[in-house]
Amino acid sequence: MMNTAPALQSFLTKEEAEEIRRRFGTPTYVYREDILEQNAKAVLAFPNAFGLTARYAMKANPNRTILEIFDRLGLHIDASTVYEAERAISVGGVNPKKIQLTSQVIHDEALLKELVRQGVLFNATSLHQLDIASRVMPGGEISIRINPGEGSGVYKSLTTGGEDSSFGIWHEQLLEAKRIVDNHGINVVGLHTHIGSGAKPEVWQATAALSLPLAKEFPNVIKFSLGGGFKTARMPDEKTTNLQVCGEQIVAEFEKFYKETGRKLHLEIEPGTYLVANAGVLLSTVMDVKRTTPGNDYVLVNAGMTEALRIPLYAAQHPLRIILADSGSRDEQDYVVCGPCCESTDVLTPVPKYLENPAVRTALESEGHTDLLEFQRTRRLTVAQIGDLLEVGGCGAYCESMSAIWYNSIPQAAAVLVRNDGNIVPIASRGNLSQLVSREMLPEGY
């Protein structure tokens, strides 16, 4: 089943966009309830052999309303820090027993202990964290995250498995992990891997085949989590993971494990991007249009790295659409689209990451391209005028949650939800200066 999100051009009508600007201003994150629900149902229908738990990787977007929508539909939670777990419980209203905590570091052992007491499942990601578990929850139940030695990602920076990744306990240290938990009487009920993000079902099958045998070392393991994001196509030339094909291939590996061991392992998955990326856009206003030399035309909008940091961070490619302020029609031209920050990298049309590939660079140079900046930043858009709106697509994931809050003292953007009945309702207010300065203080004598 492919992602059911509509194409970008139908995400917001002109009337909806204008209403949002009039009522809430810009920049504003806009989410659609129907797409969130459709994507959740697609994930919950993921094929499995002996049962499925689908967890939402809340780091993608922890907005309270989104957490509650997914909780109502039956998704569990994958938390990446003790603070995310606490947030899901206290703000999102999530039952602690529906939360698994997988954290690179444990920021607060006392908070971890309290979360475990409430029912959160701790997923240890290092040998040291197994020692922490022995102090926090002696004799308790945990899960263990294993680095199986393989990874997957569109870019290396998005890959979370393999020898170049710090995530999880290296598979060759599994016997050491077993010794630690046995010595402390810890009951390992789950194993977890996380390879990154990819669209190819065969990669997921290979990971399952590589990882499942590790469960033979832990006789009490009842669930196996194949963590990692399912690739979601933001741009027209990208491909979304086919969940049905991907799941069917994984089913075969779980059935094979059952035939070999007699153990029926419960499958867990934990998508984030797939659930929310194309369920949200960032709506901004064209504040200026300028030219330096012929062919260097710039559109400046009031949203950028402060609202969508993943774009300069990963050179992430997001679809852009000009929504005309008037009722006419205009031609198209190439633009560099820039955000409002005093940073040269605050560009919404960055150089594609594939240009870092030496083979691609060599091929371009052989064609006479010596300055790769000629490929930088331009996007063909409708001719822009001050006062138009710019819709940045695919911003439901890792935008609001990853925003560079308060850089250049720019207030945090507002957020709204387009309900199934068409009503547009606020789900996060715009920041203000008092929030910024409330944590600051002058030392005595100033």
164 and 262 part of one domain: yes
Cα-Cα-Cα-Cα torsion 245, 246, 252, 256, nearest 10 degrees, comes to: 170
- Is the residue at 16 inside a domain? no
Q: Are residues 194 and 313 in the same domain?
A: no
- Using pLDDT thresholds of 50, 70 and 90, give the confidence band for residue 370: low
Residue 358, domain extent: 278-434
Collect all residues with Cβ–Cβ distance below 8 Å to 287 and sequence separation of at least 6. 300, 301, 302, 340, 386
Own/partner contacts of 128-133, CB < 8 Å, gap of 24 or more, are: 130/177, 130/180, 130/181, 130/184, 130/186, 131/180, 132/106, 133/184, 133/186
Report yes or no on 201 lying in a domain. yes
Q: What is the DSSP string of 55-80?
A: EEEGGG---HHHHHHHHHHT-EEEES
Q: Which two tokens stand for residue 292?
A: 């330096």
**Do 269 and 305 belong together in one domain?**
no
Question: For residue 3, is pLDDT > 50?
Answer: no
Q: Count the domains in the chain.
A: 2
Residues β-bridged to residue 257: none
Domain boundary among the residues 277, 292, 313 is at: 277
Residue 25 falls within a domain, yes or no? no
* Segment (H or E) for 314: helix 310-314
Identify the residue with better confidence: 115 or 193.
Answer: 115
- The CATH code of the domain that includes 375 is 2.40.37.10
Q: List the single range of 30-39, 124-133, 373-382 with lowest mean pLDDT.
A: 373-382
- Confidence check: pLDDT of 76 > 60: yes
Reported as a single tens digit per residue, the pLDDT across 239-274 is: 898 999 989 989 999 999 999 999 999 999 999 999
Q: Is residue 233 predicted with pLDDT exceeding 50?
A: yes
Same domain, 348 and 416: yes
Can you tell me the distance from the alpha carbon of 38 to that of 6, in angstroms, rounded to the nearest whole number? 11
What would the pLDDT profile of 147-184 be if each residue is shown by its tens digit? 877 544 433 433 444 466 678 898 888 889 999 999 99
Q: Picking from 169-173, 288-292, 425-429, which range would have the lowest pLDDT averaged per residue?
A: 169-173
Judgement on whether residues 83 and 215 belong to the same structural domain of the protein: yes
User: Same domain, yes or no, for 223 and 282?
Assistant: no
Q: Which residue has the higher pLDDT, 231 or 48?
A: 48
Q: Quick one: pLDDT at residue 340?
A: 97
Neighbours of 326 (CB within 10 A): 9
3-state secondary structure of 82: helix
CA distance 286 to 18: 13
Kindly state whether residues 216 and 203 are assigned to the same domain. Answer: yes
Do 317 and 187 have their domain in common?
Answer: no
Residues 267 and 341 in one domain: no
Same domain, 273 and 287: no
State which amino acid sits at residue 286.
Answer: V
145 part of a folded domain: yes
46-50, 54-58, 347-351: which range is least confident on average?
347-351
d(CA 6, CA 279): 9
Give the percent of the chain with pLDDT over 70.
Answer: 90
C-alpha 265/C-alpha 258 separation (Å) is 8
The answer to the question of residue 14 being in a domain is: no
Tokens of 263: 């153990």
What's the whole-number mean pLDDT along residues 44-49? 96
- Same domain, residue pair 92 and 123: yes
| Tens digits of residue pLDDT in 344-358 | 999 999 988 766 667
Task: Give SS3 for 403.
Answer: coil
Which domain-ending residue is among 226, 257, 277?
A: 277
Number of H helices, E strands in the chain: 13, 18
**272 and 302 inside one domain:** no
Mean of all residue pLDDT scores within the chain: 89
Q: How confident is the model at residue 38 (pLDDT cuts 50, 70, 90)?
A: very high
Neighbours of 396 (CB within 10 A): 32
Given 245, 262, 277, the domain boundary residue is 277
> What pTM was computed for the model?
0.90
Mean of pLDDT values over 209-238: 89
Task: Indicate which CATH number applies to the domain containing 140.
Answer: 3.20.20.10
180 CB-contact burial (10 Å; exposed 0-12 / middle 13-18 / buried 19+) = buried
Write the CA distances from 4 to 46, 74, 246, 253, integer angstroms: 15, 19, 17, 27
